[in-house]
Amino acid sequence: MTARKKAAAKKKPAARKGTTRKAASRKSGAAKRTTKRTTKRTATGTTTGTAKKAAARKVFFFGKGRADGRAEMRDLLGGKGANLAEMTRLGVPVPPGFTISTDVCAEFKKAGSRIPAAVKRDALAALQKVERVMGMRFGDPSRPLLVSVRSGARSSMPGMMDTVLNLGLNDRTVAGLAQLADERFAFDSYRRFIQMYGDVVLEVPHHAFESRLDELKDHAGADLDTELDASHWRSLIDEYQEVVLEHTGERFPQDPMQQLWGAVAAVFRSWENERAHRYREIHGIPGEWGTAVNVQAMVFGNMGDDCATGVAFTRDPSTGERVFYGEYLKNAQGEDVVAGIRTPQPINAASRKADSADLPTLAEEMPRPFRELERIYKKLEKHYRDMQDIEFTIQNGELWMLQTRSGKRTAEAAVRIAVEMARERLITRNEAISRVTPESLEQLLHPRLDPDAPRDVVARGLPASPGAAVGRIVLSADEAETLAKTGEKVVLVRQETSPDDIHGMHAAEGILTARGGMTSHAAVVARGMGKCCISGCGDLHFDPGGGGIQIGGRRFEPGEFITLDGTSGEVMAGRIPTAMPELGGAFAELMRWADKVRRVSVRTNADTPADATAARGFGAEGIGLCRTEHMFFEPARILAVREMILASSPADRERALETLLPMQRGDFVRIFEVMEGRPVTVRLLDPPLHEFLPHSDAEITEVAKAIGTSVASVRASLAELEETNPMLGHRGCRLGISYPEIYRMQVRAITEAACEVKAGGVDVKPEIMLPLIAHVRELERLRSLVESEIEAVLAHHPKIRLRPHIGTMIEVPRAALTADQIAEHADFFSFGTNDLTQMAYALSRDDAGRFLPTYVDHGILESDPFVVVDEEGIGRLMRIGLEGGRQTRPDLKVGICGEHGGNPASVRFCARLGFDYVSCSPFRVPVARLAAAQAALEEAGASGGKPPKTKRAGQKRSGTNRAGKKRAGGKKR
C-alpha cells in the first residue's frame, strides 16, 4: 500500500466522525414531523405568527435535518440560502452552515462597509453549531473546520459576485489537514485559498499569483497542476505569501476569524462590483435587493480518487429533453470543472459529447454515489416542480449537495420543459404558460448562430430585429437586389434606411445601420419582414468618398463577409454558421393553451401577402396595420407615384392615380384572400410626399421625361415640396384633405378588392384607418369622403353586403385628449404609439438611439420608451384616449399598432387598460399571444378567479350602415 493510500485509510474514519451521511440525515425526519401551518404566509414565506421573529433574525442556520429558513424566504436568504435550507429540511445531504441575510447587505453599506456587532455574535453562535455537526473546530490545529463563503442573491447571478473556498487554513491548520488527509492535498488546498482570498479580499491582482504558478510548472516540467507534488505546493505557498506582502504591505492573515470577516465583507462588497452592476442592468434586477452570504462547511472533491465534484441538470438545458445531464471531475474542486484545465467527464451516457466520448462516466466509476444522485435529483425536481441546476461533491465516496436552483435554459428547452411538465402533471397548464418568457420565443422564430463557433466581434449596435444574418457587404439597395438575384447572400449596410431602400432590405439577409433606434425605419421594416437588423451602430463609419466602411476601427470593403446577431446587437467579421430552429409540437401546444386563456386578440402589421401568410402561420387573428405606402415603393410603381405627386393639376394627378388603382386593388385582393375573413385594417397614405420623390440626377431626369417637363421644372417642384420638419408637416390625413383624390383612389381600391374577393366566396372584413388625426373636424370631413367612395363602389355591386369599418389612429397627443369628440366619428381607435411617443417626448425616434441608452444607464428612464410603453406618460395619454372614446361609444373597438404591440410589458399594459387587440410584426405574434395569456393569468391571480373573457365579445358594433342610418349604440354621422 502506498504512503498516500495508508494516509487516506488512516484518516477516513476520523475525517467522517460525526459527518457521515447517516449522521447528517438522522434528523431529516424533522421536516416531516413539522406541524402544518394554516396561517397566512407573508411575502418572505414565514407565517404571520412568526413574521416579526423571522424579520428580526439576521443569521439562519441549516444542518443535520434542521433549518431556520425555507424555500419561500429567498427574498431574505437569497436563492442559494433558501434552497440550502429547503434541501436540509428535505433530508438531502447538505454540509451544515448558516446564511447572513440580504438585510445585512444594506446595513453593511450604510455602516461604511462594517459588519454589525449583533450579526457577528449570531454568526459565531451558528458557527459553533456547524462545529458540533461536523465534529471539528474552526481554527483547531489538529481537526480544523474549513468553510466556504459564497454570495447568494434572490435572483441567480452566476459568476457575478465573489466566492472564497478553504477558509480557515493557515500555517498551523494546514498541518492538521495534512494529518487528516495527506500533505499534497493539504498544501494544494492552502495555496488555492491564499490565491482566492488574496484576489477577492485583499485585491491582489490574479495574474500576480498565476505568473508564479506558471513559473513553477515550467521549472518542474509539468503541464497540469495534478503533476505537482506536496513539495512544489509548499514552495509555492511561500511565494504566494511574498506576493501578498509585496502588494498589501502586510503578511497574509493567519487568524481564521479575521479571514472569515474579511471574506464576508468582500462578498457584500461584490454586490457593487462592475460586472454585477452590468448583469443587473441587463436582467432588470433592482440594486436594493442586495445579496446574502452563505458560510458552509467545506467538503472536498480533491482528497483522492474516491472524490469528485460536478454540476448537473435534471433535464437537458439545451433541448429540454427529459434526461439527467451533467459533468464531473475526479479528485477536483468545484472551480476545476469550469476552469477548462481538464476535460470534464460525463456523469452518464446521455451526457457524452464528442470531446468526452471515450471518458468513463460517474455511473461507471462511482455507481453508489451516482445512484443516490439520481434519487436526489428526482426528489428535487418533483419538490421544486422545475428543472434544477445542481452542484455536488463526493468526498470519500459520500455524496454531498452544495446547491440547487432553477436551471438556465434555451428558449427551445423552456417551451419543451414547461409543456412536458404539464403533461406529467407536475405543474398546471397555466403554470406552463407562465414559465416561458415571451421575449425568448423570438429565438425560436429566427435563424440562430452556432453557439460554439468562435466570434470576431468588431462592434455592437442596437438589437433592432432578432435573428442572424451572414452575407457580403453591400452599400446600396439596388446592389443588394442585383446580387441577391444571382443567389448571393448580402448584408445591406447603410447610414440609415429610407422607404426607397425597401427592395434592397427585402433582398438582403440582414440590415446594419449607423443611425436609428429600436423603432427606426430599418428596425420596423426588418421586424415586419422577419429580417435580422442592427441599428444605431455608432462604430460604423463610411468613407467620405464612398467605397469602403470602418466598423469598430477596422476597414471593410464591399463584398467582404460580415455576420450580424440581431438578438445581441453584435457585428462580427467573417462568416459564422447559422441554422433555422425547428418548432416542435411543444411550441404549438403551448400556444394553444395560451390562446384559451387570453382575452386580447393578436393581429399583425403586414403590408404584403407574404407577410400576411407568415403571420397567419404564427397565429395572427387579423391585420392591425397594413401600410399602403410600402406598396408604392416597388420599382414598377414608383414612377407613377412620382408623376402623381408632381402633377400640375388635379386632372393630371387623377391620370397618374388611374395607373396605380389596379396595382393597389391587386395588392388588397391577395391580402384579403390570405386573411380569409379576418379583419384587415388598411391605413391610408401617411408619410410626407418628399419620401417618394427622386433624389439623384438620373432619377430626376427620368421623372421629367415621363411627365413631359423639364428637369428644372422638376427641381422647382422638389424645392416647393421640401419641408423643414416633414414628420410634423404635410403628411397623414393632411394629404387626404389637400389631395382628396389620393384617398379616394385608395378607398376605391380597397372596396373593389373586397367586393371581388367576396364575390369569389371568401369573406372579407376590411377596416379603413385614417392617420394623424388631431382634430375632430379632420375625421368628420374625411369619413364623409370615405363613405361616399364606398357607396359609389357598392352601387356597382348590389348583391354584395359590405360595410367596412372606418376608424382612426390615435398618435397625436391632442387626439388622445379629445378622444371623446373623435369617437363620434370612429368605429375604432388604433393607438400608433411610435408617433405618440415621439410627439409626447419631443424625440426623434431615428436619432434618439444616440443618447437614450445614456438616459437608461443613468436611471433617468427605466427603459427606452420606443421599446416599452412609458406607462406614466404615454400610458396616461392612452388611458385618457381609451376612456374618452368609450365614454362616447361604450363598444368602441380599441387596439395598438405601434411596435409596442409586440413588447410583452406593453402587451400586459394594454390588457390591463382593456384593449381589444394588439398588432405587431409577424415574427412577434407568438410573443404577443403568450404575453396576452400571461396578462390574463396575472389579472385572474389578482382577482382570485379565472381569466376573464372579453367583455365585448359578440356585441354588435355601433356606427352607420350603408344607407347612413343609425345603428344600435351609435350616433348619426
- Catalytic residue IDs: 521, 897
Q: Are the C-beta atoms of 770 and 736 separated by less than 8 Å? A: yes
The 3-class SS string of 443-467 reads HHHCCEECCCCCCCEEEECEEEECC
Which alpha helices (DSSP H) does 436-574 contain, by range? 442-445, 477-485, 502-507, 521-529
The number of beta carbons lying within 10 Å of the beta carbon of residue 411 is: 20
d(CA 558, CA 493): 9
Determine the angle formed by the axes of helices 711-721 and 697-707, rounding to 10 degrees. Answer: 110
Which alpha helices (DSSP H) does 818-924 contain, by range? 819-822, 833-841, 852-857, 874-888, 904-913
Q: Where are the beta strands (DSSP E) in 905-955?
A: 917-920
The number of beta carbons lying within 10 Å of the beta carbon of residue 938 is: 15
SS3 state at 121: helix
Number of H helices, E strands in the chain: 39, 32
- Tell me which DSSP letter residue 47 carries: B
The 3-class SS string of 807-819 reads EEEECCHHHHHCH
d(CA 285, CA 116): 26
SS3 state at 972: coil
The number of beta carbons lying within 10 Å of the beta carbon of residue 215 is: 12
First to last CA, the chain: 102
Q: Are the C-beta atoms of 693 and 718 separated by less than 8 Å? A: yes
d(CA 780, CA 427): 53
d(CA 808, CA 788): 17
d(CA 933, CA 431): 11
DSSP H or E stretch at residue 491: strand 490-494
Burial class (CB in 10 A: 0-12, 13-18, 19+), 160: buried
The grid coordinates of residue 671 equal 391580402
- In 3D space, the residue among 495, 584, 488 whose CA is nearest the CA of residue 540 turns out to be 495
d(CA 362, CA 346): 7
| Exposure letters 291-318 (e unless 16+ CB within 10 A, then b) | bbbbbbbbbbbbbbebbbbbbbbbbbbe
Phi, psi dihedrals of residue 756, rounded to the nearest 5°? -65, -45
The grid coordinates of residue 24 equal 447528517
d(CA 186, CA 298): 13
SS3 state at 343: coil
d(CA 261, CA 254): 13
d(CA 98, CA 336): 25
- In 3D space, the residue among 181, 182, 201, 205 whose CA is nearest the CA of residue 193 turns out to be 201
- In 3D space, the residue among 68, 133, 91, 32 whose CA is nearest the CA of residue 376 turns out to be 91
Q: Are the C-beta atoms of 44 and 73 separated by less than 8 Å? A: yes
